[in-house]
Structure 1
Amino acid sequence: MTSAEVEQLAADPAVEGLILTGSHARGTATVHSDRDLVMIGPAHYARRTATLDVAVVTIEDLADTSDIWQRYAFRGAKTLVDRRSGQITDLVHRQATPTAQEAVTWAREGLDGYVNFLYRAAKSRRDDEHVAARLDEAESVSWLLLTVFALHGRVRPYNKYLRWELETYPLDPPWDATLPERAVANPASLFPAVEALARDQGHGDILDAWGDDLTLLR
């Protein structure tokens, strides 16, 4: 779909809201990128092709923030049409921005999951189960990213946009644009920095609940 066709959709008065998401919204599109649109409008506009993905939702769907994974879709999104006097723009921002309580909940869940998989990996390495250890370390990365971004009051990025997020909205050191490589190479090496940040924000009880098991991670 061309820009002109998107403009044609936007001109339809039956379309209450039109939101551009994905790589075209974030300025990272390539020749292989389709256009991702979220629409509040007639159901017959919904489609998924090699060049266009139109998801038709209701205003209630857009207001529903219970699907944590879906929320990053709205990070950097551009509202093309808002015929609800700013309500749609506000809901897009709400999707992409966790509340303080949401961030705390995600950080605590993520921290416990991260420690859990690092502990499993450490035990496997101790027992010369190196393949199992590598698998557990790989699984820890998802929890690591959830934790780090939640501790900074953010939604965890999709892996495809992790570097874009860190370059566009930088975090304080050591969480710079090298994080993807470091997380893949050795997620356990980031534990001291995660621990320091978590304790600084009052989540030491999650770590302390692991007791002497933390010595394996250190």
Structure 2
Amino acid sequence: MKFPETLSAERRGLIERAAAALECSYGAGFLGMVLSGSAGRGVETERSDLDVIVVVTPELVGTPLTRNTELELLPVTLKHLETLAVFGDDQWGYRWSYAWAPTLLDKTGGRIAQAIERQTSLSAEEAHALLEMRLDAWLNMSYRSLKSARDGNLLEARMDAAEAMGPFLDVVFALDGQVRPYNKYLQWTLEHHPLKSWPSGELLNTIEQYLAGNAEAIRESLKHVQRSELPLVHEAFDEWSAEQYDALRHG
């Protein structure tokens, strides 16, 4: 088994014993293991759960796995790992749970590791579909925040800016071909897998200022995204009237 260097010897032992029990109980039906959650990304604390994805053959998914009370075993099939949920599906949220999660054991000739890697990134088609759904939502809430700030309604401006943050991050990561991380792992992701188009420190500062309802930061984020060469991005901006577009650009 291959463990991340950050995982303690005690936790490695727990997983090794669980793997041995699964091998004994399920034999060829036990296909591999992936370490998810905080432990899989080297940011666990003493309160963090130890979440291990156990890849099994279909007939074993509904069978209770041998469990250690100190870790959670999450059974999935290889087909599930190789199936890509699209934005809006109820399975979409699971895609980032697999992102950059280390494969501990792969008895499939590399298919588990390949599936995990594929879950992490967005194809051009996937990114396009996500942007179609999220660009307008981000622009609309940003516009509302800027109008509130212009009118002196600062609380409302911050609330609208906070509501814009979700679609904003969806857009920013999709433009880079990545699935947006959970908020808990945003800083970890930007440190270990930085975006090509936006320096991590600059983006984190923009997020801080955005959440404070800073109108200038919101406008700078709009300008930054608008530099994209994707026609879809420019079409989204072009749908706004001259008056509305002026509010997005100027106070």
* TM superposition score category, shorter chain reference: 0.7 to 0.9
- Alignment match of 1:57 (pick from 68, 71, 76): 76
Q: Deviations over 1:54-78 (max 9, x none)?
A: 2212233223321332211112211
In structure 2, C-alpha distance between the alignment counterparts of 1:178 and 1:160, rounded to whole Å = 18
After TM superposition, the structure 1 stretch with the greater mean CA deviation from structure 2, 102-111 or 40-49, is: 40-49
After TM superposition, the structure 1 stretch with the greater mean CA deviation from structure 2, 133-142 or 107-116, is: 107-116
2:247 is the alignment partner of 1:216: yes
Residue 200 of structure 2: SS of its match in structure 1?
Answer: coil
**Aligned AA (1:205):** E
Residue 17 of structure 1: SS of its match in structure 2?
Answer: strand
TM-score scaled by length of structure 2: 0.76
2:221 is the alignment partner of 1:201: no
1:165 is matched with which residue?
A: 189
Residue 201 of structure 2: SS of its match in structure 1?
Answer: coil
Give the number of equivalent residue pairs: 215
After TM superposition, the structure 1 stretch with the greater mean CA deviation from structure 2, 106-115 or 153-162, is: 106-115
Contact 1:62 / 1:91 at 8 angstroms: preserved in 2? yes
In structure 2, C-alpha distance between the alignment counterparts of 1:184 and 1:70, rounded to whole Å = 26
C-alpha change, 1:174 and 1:95, in structure 2 (3 Å) is closer
Contact 1:46 / 1:55 at 8 angstroms: preserved in 2? no
After TM superposition, the structure 1 stretch with the greater mean CA deviation from structure 2, 159-168 or 55-64, is: 55-64
CA RMSD of aligned residues (A): 2.3
TM-score scaled by length of structure 1: 0.87
Residue 122 of structure 1: SS of its match in structure 2?
Answer: helix
Contact 1:71 / 1:95 at 8 angstroms: preserved in 2? yes
Residue 153 of structure 1: SS of its match in structure 2?
Answer: coil
1:21 is matched with which residue?
A: 36
- Alignment match of 1:146 (pick from 156, 170, 174): 170
2:65 is matched with which residue?
A: 45
**Aligned AA (1:79):** T
Query: Shift in Å at residue 19 of structure 1?
Result: 0.7
After TM superposition, the structure 1 stretch with the greater mean CA deviation from structure 2, 96-105 or 165-174, is: 165-174
Q: Deviations over 1:164-184 (max 9, x none)?
A: 111112224643234234213
Larger-Rg structure: 2
After TM superposition, the structure 1 stretch with the greater mean CA deviation from structure 2, 92-101 or 123-132, is: 123-132
Query: Shift in Å at residue 27 of structure 1?
Result: 1.6
Q: Deviations over 1:130-173 (max 9, x none)?
A: 32221110011111111111101111111111111111122246
Structure 1 gaps of 5+ residues are: none
C-alpha change, 1:19 and 1:174, in structure 2 (3 Å) is closer
Residue 74 of structure 2: SS of its match in structure 1?
Answer: strand
1:3 is matched with which residue?
A: 12
In structure 2, C-alpha distance between the alignment counterparts of 1:48 and 1:215, rounded to whole Å = 59
Q: Deviations over 1:38-88 (max 9, x none)?
A: 112343228796x52322122332233213322111122111122222222
Residue 2 of structure 1: SS of its match in structure 2?
Answer: helix
